Structure 1
């Protein structure tokens, strides 16, 4: 595949650079090792089709050279891509209810079209299926060797015998918030990181070899994730992570919980002696999260996992809803609570 050819060429370049570096200082040798790590990271990102992550944006990329066939929307007729005269290209997927018209792309050159969207708009799910639509009628069909492909199905779950592309909200980032490390395995040829953050994809997240093992840093949305390593085809849990859950294969998945700081504010109540924050995130404790008095009222900052959280304030022993939060919900016991969403 193009991916392995690219990786092979880059490894050859690394070896040549490394031999030259041996004649220089140890500082140069370290630079070469860092360079190799960046090459592998770049290769796995370049291999994703249809999009890339740039800062806080998702950039959808349609390149007609990536496609050989297209399917006519009304009749399902398959045509050769080279016979298409492209007037416009749209992005259609789960994120826009598979609209063929809303997300029009901008032509960059004779082969490529692009559309930029904010990454924050794609935080409700770990992954999204999508496709490109030509002239509002023809679906560009991903090839079998596309890494981020998924079997397309109709609304009733029946296979359509073609592929969709997949966009993952998790992505490699040098200064990301989730670092995965596997020590040892110096003789391994390739190690893959896979988990719920990429729907257990077995190809995309190739780990980088370092001096004491393998590592890869991702940027993940807040939430709880299960994951495993694939060492030369063999699946294994993280030996250095005691947190794990049983899976359907009579084994275990390692568990990682990504949390972000969130500040709760209760305005007013300047005459109160003590205010407690209580919620499902601290088992409704009546003591642990004592809020601090401020010029405007009371505040408390804590780490929260992604998703929905119920909470209340306890003002001098009296339980109250958040008066500045209109979002409320009943719990299983019939109590009404304020609701906080973390994304």
Structure 2
């Protein structure tokens, strides 16, 4: 189960690799008719179906039909791949294919809009950050020690376009924490403690920013498996590269039962040069067509972590 972005965020959550739209009848008092803008109370309507309608589906009132969970709740899941790019998507819920449920400002993720008669309306704002989203099984853990008396702590960075509200941290013993699922890459970040920005005091890796202060820096990598096919008569096969300063003995590969030599290791995001050493003989990766000169006349295989 993924953490929600904020306690008063309504209309959707991001769970693992899905956007989960949730309609709760109790979140709405009034409805607006699609064509003439008349407003009615929810108590005057029997709900037959609910549809998610927004910029992501050209405001269709029919396509994204939700599933009834109970008498007052409807849900629809869509994979994150449906929302390409770093966009903000506006959406609303449509009841019976003609009445728009009007969210109130009690939700932090609403923005202003105008109805057909010029009346003030509100729509939900679905913020997509494809590089990162809060997840209890995330590969990056942000932790801030202390600040037990703080009311709200946010982690904000280049991975979420420096958003000041959505990535809310949770209170733990002697501090605050948030797990985030992040793609490999270089990122800068800061904490916001009750409105006050600060660098991560436990992270010595930092860079100066445009305000003559410091942003904390992290490089998020991932595990990469190197495979070499064949050479089953070899005695020793070594993986060597820029990631271990071209050490000729450290990463000894293991022979598998299906005709490969294998080595798995965590690598930071970025470009890595490597070769295999077979019983003392250096070779390029025969199954990797990406090669590059290293500046001193050598040609190496290239592995990109991104």
Does structure 1 residue 243 correspond to structure 2 residue 205? yes
CA contact (8 A) 1:64 1:111 kept: yes
CA contact (8 A) 1:194 1:228 kept: yes
- The match for 1:10 is none
Output aligned runs, 1:128-277, within 5 Å: 129=89, 131-134=91-94, 142-149=103-110, 163-166=124-127, 170-171=133-134, 173=136, 176-210=138-172, 212=174, 214-223=175-184, 224-272=186-234, 274-276=237-239
> Which of the two has greater strand per residue?
2
Question: Aligned equivalents of 2:68 and 2:219: distance in 1?
Answer: 40
TM-score, normalised on structure 1? 0.60
Q: How many residue pairs are counted as aligned between the two chains?
A: 280
Does structure 1 residue 298 correspond to structure 2 residue 261? yes
- The match for 1:28 is none
Alpha-carbon offset, residue 103 of structure 1: 3.7
The partner residue of 2:39 within 80, 86, 90 is: 80
CA contact (8 A) 2:223 2:266 kept: yes
CA contact (8 A) 2:157 2:187 kept: yes
Any stretches of 5+ residues in structure 2 without a counterpart?
114-120
Question: Aligned equivalents of 1:81 and 1:288: distance in 2?
Answer: 75
Alpha-carbon offset, residue 189 of structure 1: 3.8
Alpha-carbon offset, residue 301 of structure 1: 1.0
- The match for 1:5 is none
Where 1:192 maps in the other structure, the secondary structure is strand
Output aligned runs, 1:28-107, within 5 Å: 46-53=7-14, 58-67=19-28, 68=30, 72=34, 80=39, 82=41, 88-91=49-52, 98=58, 100=60, 102-107=63-68
Change (3 A) 1:115 1:210: closer
Where 1:220 maps in the other structure, the secondary structure is strand
The partner residue of 1:116 within 72, 77, 96 is: 77
Could you say what the CA RMSD is over the residues aligned between the two structures, in angstroms?
4.7
CA contact (8 A) 2:273 2:301 kept: yes
Where 2:182 maps in the other structure, the secondary structure is coil
What is the CA deviation profile of residues 144-193 of structure 1, one whole-angstrom value per residue up to 9, with x for unaligned ones? 442245689xxxxxxx99652235652253x6543333333344343333
Question: Aligned equivalents of 2:102 and 2:293: distance in 1?
Answer: 46
Alpha-carbon offset, residue 293 of structure 1: 3.4
Question: Aligned equivalents of 1:199 and 1:69: distance in 2?
Answer: 33
Does structure 1 residue 318 correspond to structure 2 residue 283? yes
Change (3 A) 1:123 1:217: farther
Alpha-carbon offset, residue 228 of structure 1: 1.5
Structure with more relative contact order (C-alpha pairs < 8 Å, separation 6 or more): 2
What is the CA deviation profile of residues 308-342 of structure 1, one whole-angstrom value per residue up to 9, with x for unaligned ones? 8676644632323526xxxx668799x99776666
Alpha-carbon offset, residue 113 of structure 1: 1.5
Question: Aligned equivalents of 1:54 and 1:179: distance in 2?
Answer: 17
Question: Aligned equivalents of 2:125 and 2:73: distance in 1?
Answer: 19
Question: Aligned equivalents of 1:127 and 1:331: distance in 2?
Answer: 35
Any stretches of 5+ residues in structure 1 without a counterpart?
1-40, 153-159
- The match for 1:6 is none
